[in-house]
Amino acid sequence: MKQLAFIFLFSIIMATPSCTMEQPQVVVEETVVADTIPTVVIDYGCPDTMFASAEKVMFVVDTFDTTVPCELSNFNDLYEDAPGIFTFRGSPTRNPNFCGHLHGDSININVDWVFKTEMDTSKTSHGTWYGGTGWTGQPVFVQWPDSLLARFEQLDDTVIDHLCTQELIIASLCGNVYFVDFQTGKESRKCLNTKNVLKGTPSLNPLFNGHLYVGHGVEKHAPFGNIVFDMFTHQTIHSHGKDPKAWRSWGAYDSSPVVIGGFVFRPGENGTLYKYYIGDGGYTLQSTLRYSLTKSKSSPGIESSMAVYKNYGYLSDNGGNILCVNLNTMKPVWHYWNHDDTDATPLVDIEDGIPYVYTGCEVDRQGNTGKSYFVKLQGLTGELIWEDTISCRRLHMGGEKTLDGGMYCSPLLGGGDCEGMIFSNFCINSADVRGYFTAFDKSDGHILYQTKTKQYCWSSPVAFYNDKNEMFIFTADTSGNVYVIKGKTGEIVASQRVGSNFESSPVIIDNKIVLGSRGNKIYKISLQ
């Protein structure tokens, strides 16, 4: 019977028809009772379809290399078991898989070290950017295995200051990518000078091929675009400047790339989604998606990082569009218009096997006053499950400078005693420029509470849990204040002014936080 079962299983797998649109993942249940046939589950991913909402989208898919596959080889979350935080929010779903741990009942905020970046005072067409980190500016954290540390030992002494097991990778507004020892706050290797302002979050390939993906934010020098840096050779191995085929001229890349199924996906502010094949350690442009909702091909820019569920990618852009893309074909699946500029990175949560997408917009195109629309969408169809609105306004800073209100952060799902809740920061821009840290009921979207912060927050909140599995949330504002908030009630249990302006999002390692500020300082903070 066992031999018969094996033959039966093999015949099922071999009989599965090949499909140019998707590649199945075959999963065999691990527990097999004697004299029974193992259960075979074939995962073809999400369907290749286009809903009516996507038919209004004008798009072009260009294929650049037909010699490499176009379908995702699998849907595995490569970041789940990676030793660190390798991309914005740590996973393809942008649902943070890094959580801190608190011990005891009292919480004290302590600064362990401060790392200083260079200060660039040169002027660009978009002002002077100095140093430190901006939006989204999250550090990457990696714990290198011994085998890779041995490879770094082969690098020249002028490159490696000292080897460290736990390394931070930080993209600075001064244009440098810094490599910092997590334990000491000292530079671990020579910085990478990209010659342009860096605002977004870099991304490290979780396959440990050494590829680091970095995107420029503001142009000072050509080429202006994105680069791939090899950590093992300390060399730039790929540089992509302005794209002559792009439907939008602004060529920045604030988005943090994501790796899945043998590909790197990289959205650009030029309105293009790039798909690179990384088989055999290479980096080959396989295809692009360019889209617009107007016949003039006036394409919106993508500043958010793409969230991914299986072969579906979720994008938001500065035109207010939320777009689901089939990553096998690079064609739109559904479209939702979210009223205004939506730069916040979407979060995907799985409920009963169905993906749901959460995100919110700014108050920009609405004028000086308007609403931030926080929405929950069914991820397979684009159906609106709920929306809630928060009134916000544009902040006038003097002269022609303004700051839009609304939502800039990626939301945070509740866990522990906050199961069924979801949290986000909103820039209300009231007369006292305060922000609202807001808790929503995940099931219907109604507001559970709002906690005022001393100033508006762009930074994305992150979670800590104590020994009782109670959830505490760490967040920071643009006046340099950090907060620890009790998730269930909204009570601020600890607060301290640490820096000058925290636009960036933090990472957590145990009870430690690493967070960059505008100016020239990066902080490692302990909660004790």
- How many degrees, rounded to 5, is the angle at CA 179 between CA 178 and CA 184? 120
Under DSSP, the state recorded for 424 is E
Under DSSP, the state recorded for 311 is T
Stated pTM of the model: 0.92
Under DSSP, the state recorded for 315 is E
Alpha-helical (H) ranges within 68-218 are 146-152
Element (H, E) at 4: helix 2-15
Task: Please return the burial class of 223, using the count of CB atoms within 10 Å of its CB with bins 0-12, 13-18 and 19+.
Answer: middle
> Are 286 and 63 within 8 A, CB to CB?
yes
Identity of the amino acid at 58:
M
> Are 464 and 527 within 8 A, CB to CB?
yes
Distance CA 241, CA 222 (A): 7
Stated length of the chain: 528
pLDDT at 37: 64
> Are 364 and 404 within 8 A, CB to CB?
yes
Number of Cβ atoms within 10 Å of the Cβ of 63: 13
Coil, helix or strand at residue 257: coil
Tokens matching residue 385: 């499950």
> Are 259 and 285 within 8 A, CB to CB?
no
Tokens matching residue 181: 């020892």
Q: Is the dihedral of CA 212, 132, 399, 476 positive or negative?
A: positive
Distance CA 303, CA 286 (A): 22
Distance CA 5, CA 478 (A): 63
What DSSP string describes 36-90?
SPPPEEEE--S-----GGGTT-EEEEEE--TTS--S-S----TTSSSSEE-SGGG
Count of alpha carbons within 13 angstroms of residue 463, beta-carbon side: 28
Distance CA 225, CA 12 (A): 47
Whose tokens are 């596959």? That residue is 69
Q: For the chain, how big is the Rg over CA atoms in Å? A: 23
What's the average pLDDT block by block, 10 residues per block, for the chain (528 residues)? 38 37 46 57 90 96 96 97 97 94 89 98 94 98 95 90 94 98 97 97 96 97 95 94 94 97 97 94 93 84 97 97 98 97 97 98 95 98 98 85 93 98 94 89 98 96 96 97 98 96 97 97 96
Q: Are strands 471-476 and 481-486 parallel, antiparallel or unpaired?
A: antiparallel
Domain 45-527: which topology?
Methylamine Dehydrogenase; Chain H (2.130.10)
> Are 476 and 457 within 8 A, CB to CB?
yes
pLDDT at 39: 66
pLDDT at 25: 58
Distance CA 112, CA 524 (A): 5
CA–CA distance from 381 to each of 49, 53, 290, 354 (Å)? Answer: 10, 9, 21, 10
Secondary-structure breakdown of the chain: helix, strand, coil percentages, each rounded to the nearest 5: 5, 45, 50
Q: What are phi and psi of 495, to 5 degrees?
A: -155, 145
Spell out the domain ranges in the chain.
1-44, 45-527
